[in-house]
Structure formats: C-alpha cells, structure tokens
Structure 1
Amino acid sequence: MVDLNAEMAELWSSLGAPAPGRPHVIQVVAARRGEGTSTIARELARFTSARAGRKTWLVDMDLATSNQFQTLSSQPERFGVLGPAVAASPDESAFFTVQPPAPRSDGGVWPDSKYLTAHSVGGSRLWVTRFNRDALRGRQKVHIIPGAEYWQALRRHAEVIVVDSPSTDRSQAALTVAQHMDQTVLVVSAQQPDVKPPAQLRDALATAGGRCAGVFFNQASVQPPAFLRAILP
C-alpha cells in the first residue's frame, strides 16, 4: 500500500487550496490508460475529505466499470465502510444521458439521474458515485453530455468535487465536460518518455474551454526530464 498523503498535500497546495465554503470542481485525467489517474483522483478525494476537512464527492466518469466504487468497497479497512445507495443528483440533473430512454408504466420515461447513485465512504465527508449499468436494457447506451446543470447542482452540496475521467485514448468525456471544471490535473507516469499525447491533451483541453492546472507525475521518484517540464509547465 502506497502512502500518498505528502504528494496529495503538495497537489492540494499547488491547486490553491480553495477556501472553505467555496465549491471547487477538479478533474483528473490522463492521455493514456494505465497512467494511474483513478488512484490519484481517489487519494486526492480522500485527502480533501480527511485532512482538509471538506465535504468531498468523488464522481466516477467511467460509467462502464464504476471502478472507484469497486475499489473503495473492497478496502473498508482503509477507506471506511460504504453507506447505502442514495440519489446522486440533487435536482434530477445528470452529466450523461441514456438513449433510448426507458419507458415507465405511467407513460413517461425514467430520468437519467435514476441510473446514478452515491455512497458515503466511512462517514459523511466523502461520497462516491456509482453508475448502475445493470439497469440498461436492450439497445440502450449512455453518453456523457456537455451541460452545466449537474455540476452547478452538486456545487450546492459539496465543497470539493473530484472528477475521475477516463483517459482520452478511450473516451472524450474529459473534453466534453472540461469547460465546467474549475481545474484539470493531467496525470503522467514518470516512466513514460513520450510527451506528445499529454501535450496534445493539454492543448485539446484549452480548446474545449478547460483550464489545465498542471501535471502530476505519478510514481515519480526522480525529477521529470527537463524537456518534459518544458513542454508541460
């Protein structure tokens, strides 16, 4: 088990350590799968809830696996026991849409928000979302949407929202929601010599209206190469 408290404290400080009472949405993403994005997002959410004392939501944008829920629920001795499922949307808004919508017996359709639940993690300061993929039927598919409603609603219920986005080599989710994030942190493996994909992601985020706050060099035991620091300031 790797203790990342020192690294998370440094990351939190570098992000400006937003003042209490001012909701802040931080997206964590990598250009390539396997860079360790989910670990960094999870540890940052754990830090902001436990050490910084902020009510934190960890929003898992990987709707195919709900990896964050799976990991947290499998390690109660470290993260705490997960609470029962509750609605993950304060106002029935959602950051995704399920198409075609599922019909209800009263003639209406099930709202997208019904597919997403949230669970408290070891208390009331940390929450994690879970997409109920088992509820999809037939030809239904889920798509991330660019609307601001969900993020605005969640800001009224959490101080810090950490968004774990799938890598952009397999999903455009991070770019779709980039404009609604206060900051986006790029995760790059310290052992990865190819800087082109993360540099392209930085530029794509800017084009999409996002703000790249910087780069977290995952598993870094040495200084990142000078050329990498120059390309990704």
Structure 2
Amino acid sequence: MVDLNAEMADLWASLGAPASGRARIVQVVAARRGEGTSTVARELAFFAAKRAGRSVWLVDLDLLASPQHAAIGAESDRYGPLGEPAAASPDGSIFFTVQPASHGPDGQPWPDARYLCAHRVGSARWWVTRFRREGLKGRQSVHILPTGDYWTALRKYADLIIVDCPSPERSQAALTVAPFMDQTVLVVAADEADVRAPAQLRDAIAGAGGTVTGIFFNRATVAQPAFLKAILP
C-alpha cells in the first residue's frame, strides 16, 4: 500500500471548513473505472478519523460488491479490525430500494434498510457500510433512490460522511445522489491526457444539482497538469 498521508492531508485541507454544527457529505467518483476512487475514499476516511479526529462514515454505493468492506477487512493490520455488524440507518430511512420486495413471515414487506449494515473500523470513530447481498432472493435487484432522507438522518451521527460511488459507466448512482452531497471530488489518473470524460462528468453532476469542488490526481505525485483549467474554473 502506497502511503497517501501527505496527499490526504492536502485533500482534507482543500475541502475547506464545513458549516458550523453540520456534518459534511463528500462524494468521491471518477469518470472511468480503474482510476482508484475507492482507494481515495478509503484513505480520506482513514485520515479524517485517525489524524483529524473526526467521526466518519464511509458509505459504499457499489452495493452488490461492497469492495470497501472487503478491502478494509483484508488490511486489518493497517486500518484496524472490523467490528460486529450494526444497523446503518438511524431511523429506518435508506438510499436504495430492493425490488421486488421481500416479505417476512407475517406477510409484511421486509424493510430495505435491513439490507445495509455498518462495521466499526478499529478503535477510531469510523464505520464502513456493507450491503447484505446474501439477503437477496431470486431475481431481486437494487436501485439507488433520488431522496435525501437517509443523508439528512445520518448527518446527526457523524462529522464527515464519505460516499464512494462507482463510475458512471457502471452505475448512475453518482448523479442520483449528487443533489444531496455537499461536495463532489473527481478522481483522475495523474497520467490521463484525455479530459473529455472528467469534464462530461463534471457537467453531468452540475446538471443533476451537485457541486464538483475538487479534483484528486491519483497514482502519482506530479505538478498540476495544464489541462486542469479545462475541468475547473
């Protein structure tokens, strides 16, 4: 694992101070798969919890794979051991729906929120979510919802919420949740010369009601590329 503490310190500083008394929600996404979005989101959560002393929730929107939970579990010597699963919704609201709905023994619909759990990571005040894919049956599918109820509820229980989104070529989740995020950070490979896809994603997020506030150049420490002006003013 490459040590990204210095890069995370810079990214943390670039996000600026949050509004007083209000948790900040930061979405991390890349225009293309393989840009290292999950690594950036995870390392930012780790930095904020360990170095900045914040309570952090890392919400993984790659629901069926839950790669954040798997990655942290595989590197427990670095991040800390995963705790027992706990409810990930403070009030029963959730940002997705499972269709067709399951029903319990009493015939009532199974609440969607029960499909998502959260694990505390080590001794720091941070949690990572995991979708209980094993609870799906038959031809059930999962869909991200354009609602802010869950994000509003979760703000009361964390200083920082980091939302790791799949790239738009895999999912439209980043655009669906964009209006409910305070900030979006685009992850771009440092050696990527073609800015069209990041620029298109920036415009799409803005069109969906979100705000792109920064770019993280991943995989190398380089001088700011000249094409930055083509993406951000």
Whether TM exceeds 0.5 here: the answer is yes
Residues 50 and 124, structure 2, Cα contact 8 Å, conserved in 1: no
Do residues 217 (structure 1) and 212 (structure 2) align? no
Secondary structure at 1:210's aligned position in 2?
coil
Structure 1 alignment gaps of length 5 or more: none
CA distance in 2, matches of 1:188, 1:17: 24
Do residues 64 (structure 1) and 64 (structure 2) align? yes
The 5 Å alignment of 1:111-190 reads 111-190=111-190
The TM-score, its normalising length taken from structure 1, stands at 0.97
CA distance in 1, matches of 2:17, 2:75: 27
CA distance in 1, matches of 2:78, 2:21: 27
CA distance in 1, matches of 2:69, 2:17: 26
Change (3 A) 1:50 1:21: farther
CA distance in 1, matches of 2:21, 2:7: 24
The alignment-based identity, stated in percent, is: 61
**Count of aligned residue pairs for this structure pair:** 232
Tell me what 1:42 maps to: 42
Structure 2 alignment gaps of length 5 or more: none
Secondary structure at 2:25's aligned position in 1?
strand
Corresponding letter in the other structure for 2:118: A
CA distance in 1, matches of 2:15, 2:220: 19
CA distance in 2, matches of 1:21, 1:73: 32
Structure 1 residue 119: deviation in Å? 0.2
Structure 1 residue 20: deviation in Å? 6.9
Structure 1 residue 21: deviation in Å? 3.9
Residues 214 and 232, structure 1, Cα contact 8 Å, conserved in 2: no
Corresponding letter in the other structure for 1:218: N
Tell me what 2:231 maps to: 232
Residues 190 and 219, structure 2, Cα contact 8 Å, conserved in 1: yes
The TM-score, its normalising length taken from structure 2, stands at 0.97
**Segment drifting more, 100-109 vs 171-180:** 100-109
Corresponding letter in the other structure for 1:118: A
CA distance in 2, matches of 1:162, 1:114: 21
Residues 41 and 162, structure 1, Cα contact 8 Å, conserved in 2: yes
> What's the C-alpha RMSD, in Å, of the aligned pairs?
1.1
Residues 186 and 216, structure 1, Cα contact 8 Å, conserved in 2: yes
Corresponding letter in the other structure for 1:144: I
Deviations 1:52-104 (A, max 9, x none): 11100000000121000000011111000110000000011111000000011
CA distance in 1, matches of 2:124, 2:48: 13
Residues 35 and 188, structure 1, Cα contact 8 Å, conserved in 2: yes
Residues 187 and 215, structure 2, Cα contact 8 Å, conserved in 1: yes
Deviations 1:158-207 (A, max 9, x none): 11000000011111000000000000000000121111000000000000
Change (3 A) 1:124 1:220: closer
Structure 1 residue 222: deviation in Å? 2.0
Tell me what 2:102 maps to: 102
